[in-house]
């Protein structure tokens, strides 16, 4: 048992018979109809995951389709004292997002503090999220799992673990530690070899800020999009020109996604299928509503809502997962803190974060209450005239 957690690698058990049947001698799924058994997880913090059995038939299993829309890279939650995973809050948060109308969830993203989690913990988070969605009636909601690692070998391993934990797709960053030594051919080989052996379809995650500035161009991504097991990309680079080129040249059905809520509308206009954005942890209904308004042809309302979301997302971008968790804690009364060495905000900092999100939170409240006239925030008109104008249009 690890001295730092209440669970160990043995707590998430994968039946070796199922694994040996699933993997061929070259590490490629064989397609045999076997099961991976994830046994009950218990620890002195009192959480448990029971009865989760994931079918791993690579050729026959049900794959939940990715649909155009808004996806949230979910936050990982921890006990404030021990920093153990807070499973109850992870599950509660996933259901809250699903009920707000999101089209899918992502575990192990930047907001999910994947870099702070062990392999075991990654599997626990994904399995808990899948279990929560299923129990709440969202069995068809897909889960994308962040599986980025520096080597092809470990990334493939993470893709297999994603499947066995209930994930449907893998989202993968390019390798960066030896960035100066990599060529465009190196990156192409990295994604191609992973796609060849991954038991789940993959999405390319282009986020230069997280990988020493490595920025995959549209030529590379469009070429990779031809691989049958590469089904989409998330562009946190914010380059809408790149997004438009990929959307126009990639095979039909390729999910070209924006990577931040602050350019949802530009992404959709440019041909993107939607957005995977961290702001949806705070205001999922508002993020979805921009998508809905655009597709309903209500451009005036969509543009006004995008402006408010853009201001809210700027607050999230500046403060990162620290500000996002602080907002969740202050406004929704759950969230806690990131794992160390992430800083914990002071009371003054927490109040400042909340103030920057206020306009967006008011919009979210209005939408969640049904966009009724009696819920317009007339008392805030002097502070947020754009918000009141939008609420009047929507009511």
Q: What is the Rg, in whole angstroms, of the alpha carbon atoms belonging to the chain?
A: 21
CA–CA gap between residue 145 and residue 74 (Å, rounded): 10
CA dist list (Å): 177 to 146, 173, 212: 18, 12, 8
CA–CA gap between residue 359 and residue 309 (Å, rounded): 9
Pairing of strands 69-73, 274-276: parallel
3-state secondary structure 292-338: HHHHCCCHHHHHHHHHHHHHHHHHHHHHHHHHHHHHHHHHHCCCCCC
Q: Are 276 and 233 in contact (CB under 8 A)?
A: no
Q: Where are the beta strands (DSSP E) in 13-142?
A: 35-38, 52-55, 69-73, 104-107
Pairing of strands 52-55, 35-38: antiparallel
Tokens representing residue 189 in the block: 């080989």
Q: Are 279 and 309 in contact (CB under 8 A)?
A: yes
In degrees rounded to 5, what are phi and psi of residue 147?
-130, 20
List residues with catalytic annotation. Answer: 234
Question: Which residues lie closer than 8 Å to 350 by C-beta, 6 or more apart?
Answer: 326, 329, 330
Residues 260-293 as b/e (b if ≥16 CB within 10 A, e otherwise) read: bbbbbbebbebebbbbbbbbbbbbbbbbbbbbbb
Q: Are 259 and 317 in contact (CB under 8 A)?
A: no
């Amino acid at each position: 048992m690890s001295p730092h957690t209440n669970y160990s690698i043995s707590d998430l058990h994968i039946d070796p018979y199922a694994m040996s049947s699933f993997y061929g001698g070259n590490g490629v799924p064989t397609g045999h109809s076997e099961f991976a058994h994830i046994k009950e997880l218990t620890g002195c913090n009192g959480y448990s995951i029971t009865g989760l059995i994931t079918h791993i038939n690579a050729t026959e299993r049900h794959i939940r389709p990715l649909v155009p829309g808004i996806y949230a890279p979910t936050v990982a939650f921890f006990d404030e004292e021990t920093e153990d995973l807070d499973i109850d809050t992870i599950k509660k948060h996933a259901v809250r997002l699903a009920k707000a109308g999101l089209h899918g969830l992502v575990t192990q993203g930047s907001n999910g503090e994947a870099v702070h989690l062990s392999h075991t913990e990654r599997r626990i988070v994904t399995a808990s999220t899948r279990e929560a969605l299923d129990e709440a009636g969202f069995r068809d909601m897909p889960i994308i799992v962040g599986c980025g690692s520096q080597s092809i070998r470990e990334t493939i391993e993470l893709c297999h673990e994603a499947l066995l934990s209930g994930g449907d797709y893998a989202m993968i960053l390019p390798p960066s530690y030896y960035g100066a030594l990599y060529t465009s051919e190196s990156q192409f080989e990295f994604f191609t070899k992973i796609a060849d052996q991954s038991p789940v379809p993959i999405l390319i995650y282009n986020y230069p800020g997280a990988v020493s500035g490595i920025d995959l161009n549209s030529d590379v991504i469009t070429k990779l999009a031809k691989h049958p097991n590469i089904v989409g990309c998330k562009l946190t680079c914010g380059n809408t020109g790149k997004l438009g080129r990929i959307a126009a040249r990639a095979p039909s059905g390729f999910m070209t996604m924006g990577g931040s809520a602050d350019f949802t509308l530009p992404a959709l206009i440019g041909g993107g299928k939607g957005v995977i954005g961290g702001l949806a942890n705070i205001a999922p209904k508002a993020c979805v509503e921009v998508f809905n308004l655009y597709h309903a042809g209500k451009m005036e309302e969509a543009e006004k809502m995008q402006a408010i979301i853009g201001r809210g997302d700027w607050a999230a971008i500046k403060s990162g997962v620290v500000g996002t968790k602080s907002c969740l804690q202050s406004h929704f009364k759950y969230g806690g803190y990131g794992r160390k060495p992430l800083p914990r905000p002071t009371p003054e900092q927490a109040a400042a974060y909340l103030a920057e999100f206020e306009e967006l939170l008011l919009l979210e409240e209005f939408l969640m209450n049904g966009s009724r006239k009696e819920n317009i925030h007339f008392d805030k008109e002097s502070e947020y005239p754009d918000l009141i104008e939008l609420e009047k249009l929507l009511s």
